[in-house]
């Protein structure tokens, strides 16, 4: 006679089929650099291998729902992502990398000074001409009136008023540099997709939690150029060398235009600088740490330090000789450096962004 047999309970995914497939689809879109047709081809292959769909809801139903819900559309006889999908990908990246965050009040940069700022402090002081009415502490002011004038005839005078201190807030301007050189996909390892995910998450973080901050995104290979946040999912690695100098020069130029004393650069890269642009073309050396290239890079690191622009480098490589270069670059700039695998990259970006924001100015 056989008794009870216990097995591990598998509740499955209780979400509707579209939601489950859409999460996978967004991830695949990052790997295909926003190519919807290629992403859907991958989805069909994944479905064949892992049986994502059922007899009641097939991949054709999913594609039709993507169109009906406004996530993809036909443009010049091709399927393309819509801005709604781009925003959804940013939110998903934020949830994956910075999932512990909660949406807060408008995120301006805190300082150690108080005054007529945006955020109420617990400290109080006597009322001064020009203080906002909403900053008055009613309970403390009424108590002062009773103490100062007695309880026979209540009156509230200017000298009785107390107000809450308010903390000053400042902005932070950030430039995110993304390496799109060929080494980001070298040896069959995909490093550009996690880098894109970090950039998307950081953009959404600033938009949601620190809406008055600014974020500029640039990419660098043989040259450097600025892109929009909406362009990040479509980034592809090119047959480029690594012109870190061009990236730093463009980042510094963008930060000068911001006219903001609180400025920083985040640089995500996986290798050494290998390229310079000169009057007659490009000077390249991918074989080692070329002193001509390195000296120019270190010179810009020192210049950033004089301008009080902090550079935080995220090196997605663990070679000792590369770490030695990054250490020298960091010491010259006075910034920070992290040597990390791809898995923890997002957490490190978030941690350092928060650290920089909390620093008193």
DSSP character string of 343-355:
TTHHHHHHHHHHH
**pLDDT tops 80 at residue 109:** no
For the chain, which residues make up each domain, given as ranges? 17-81, 112-169, 171-358
pLDDT of amino acid 359: 46
The total of other beta-carbon atoms located within 10 Å of residue 262's CB is 21
pLDDT of amino acid 344: 72
**pLDDT tops 90 at residue 181:** yes
- Report helix, strand or coil for 268: strand
**pLDDT tops 50 at residue 66:** yes
pLDDT digits (tens, 9 = 90+) for 261-294: 899 999 998 878 999 999 999 999 988 789 999 9
Nearest to 177 by CA among 304, 359, 82, 295: 304
- C-alpha 338: how far from chain center: 16
How large is the C-alpha radius of gyration of the chain?
27
- C-alpha 358: how far from chain center: 16
pLDDT band at 116 (very low <50, low <70, confident <90, very high): very low
Tokens of 169: 């807030």
pLDDT of amino acid 250: 98
Taking the C-alpha atoms of residue 202 and residue 189, their distance in angstroms, rounded to an integer, is: 23
Question: What H or E segment, with its residue span, contains residue 37?
Answer: helix 36-50
Instruction: Specify the CATH number for 171-358; select among 3.30.930.10, 1.10.10.10, 3.40.50.410, 3.90.550.10.
Output: 3.40.50.410
pLDDT of amino acid 12: 67
Cβ proximity of 244 and 269 under 8 Å: yes
Q: Which residues on adjacent β-strands are paired with residue 131?
A: none
pLDDT of amino acid 107: 40
Nearest to 29 by CA among 39, 20, 19: 39
pLDDT of amino acid 115: 41
Tokens of 283: 């000077």
pLDDT of amino acid 75: 93
Q: What is the mean pLDDT of residues 75-88?
A: 94
**pLDDT tops 70 at residue 9:** no
Q: What is the mean pLDDT of residues 3-30?
A: 82
Q: What is the mean pLDDT of residues 156-168?
A: 77
CA-based torsion, 41, 43, 47, 53: positive or negative: negative
pLDDT of amino acid 120: 53
pLDDT band at 62 (very low <50, low <70, confident <90, very high): very high
**pLDDT tops 70 at residue 91:** yes
Residue with the larger pLDDT of the pair 27 and 345: 27
pLDDT band at 210 (very low <50, low <70, confident <90, very high): confident
Taking the C-alpha atoms of residue 110 and residue 112, their distance in angstroms, rounded to an integer, is: 7
Q: What is the mean pLDDT of residues 24-40?
A: 96
Taking the C-alpha atoms of residue 119 and residue 165, their distance in angstroms, rounded to an integer, is: 9
Calculate the alpha carbon distances from 300 to 169, 176, 259, 306, 340 in Å. Answer: 30, 16, 19, 10, 24
Taking the C-alpha atoms of residue 239 and residue 221, their distance in angstroms, rounded to an integer, is: 8
């Amino acid at each position: 006679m056989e008794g009870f047999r216990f097995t591990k309970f598998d509740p499955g995914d209780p979400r509707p089929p579209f939601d489950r497939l859409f999460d996978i689809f967004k991830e695949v879109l990052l790997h295909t650099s926003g190519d919807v047709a290629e992403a859907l081809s991958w989805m069909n292959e994944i479905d064949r291998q892992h049986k994502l769909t059922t007899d009641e809801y097939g991949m054709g139903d999913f594609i039709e729902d993507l169109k009906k819900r406004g996530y993809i559309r036909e443009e010049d006889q091709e399927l393309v992502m819509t801005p709604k999908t781009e925003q959804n990908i940013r939110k998903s990246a934020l949830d994956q990398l910075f999932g512990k965050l909660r949406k807060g009040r408008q995120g301006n940069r805190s300082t150690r000074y108080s005054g007529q700022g945006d955020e109420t402090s617990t400290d109080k002081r006597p009322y001064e001409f020009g203080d906002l009415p909403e900053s008055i502490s009613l309970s403390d002011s009424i108590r002062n009136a009773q103490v100062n004038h007695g309880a026979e005839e209540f009156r509230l005078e200017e000298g009785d008023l107390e107000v809450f201190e308010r903390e000053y807030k400042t902005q932070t301007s950030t430039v995110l540099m993304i390496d799109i050189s060929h080494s980001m996909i070298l040896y069959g390892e995909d490093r550009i997709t996690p880098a894109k995910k970090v950039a998307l998450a950081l953009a959404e973080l600033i938009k949601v939690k620190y809406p008055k901050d600014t974020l500029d995104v640039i990419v660098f290979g043989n040259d450097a150029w600025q892109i929009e946040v909406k362009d990040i999912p479509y980034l592809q690695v090119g047959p480029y060398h690594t012109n870190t100098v061009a990236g730093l020069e463009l980042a510094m130029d963008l930060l000068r235009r911001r006219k903001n004393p609180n400025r920083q650069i985040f640089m995500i890269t996986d290798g050494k600088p290998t390229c310079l642009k000169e009057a007659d073309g490009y000077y390249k050396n991918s074989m080692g740490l070329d002193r001509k290239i390195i000296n120019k890079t270190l010179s810009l690191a020192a210049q950033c330090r004089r301008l009080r622009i902090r550079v935080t480098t995220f090196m997605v490589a663990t070679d000792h000789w590369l770490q030695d270069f990054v250490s020298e670059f960091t010491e010259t700039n006075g910034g920070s450096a992290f040597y990390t695998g791809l898995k923890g990259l997002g957490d490190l970006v978030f941690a350092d962004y928060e650290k920089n924001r909390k620093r008193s100015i």
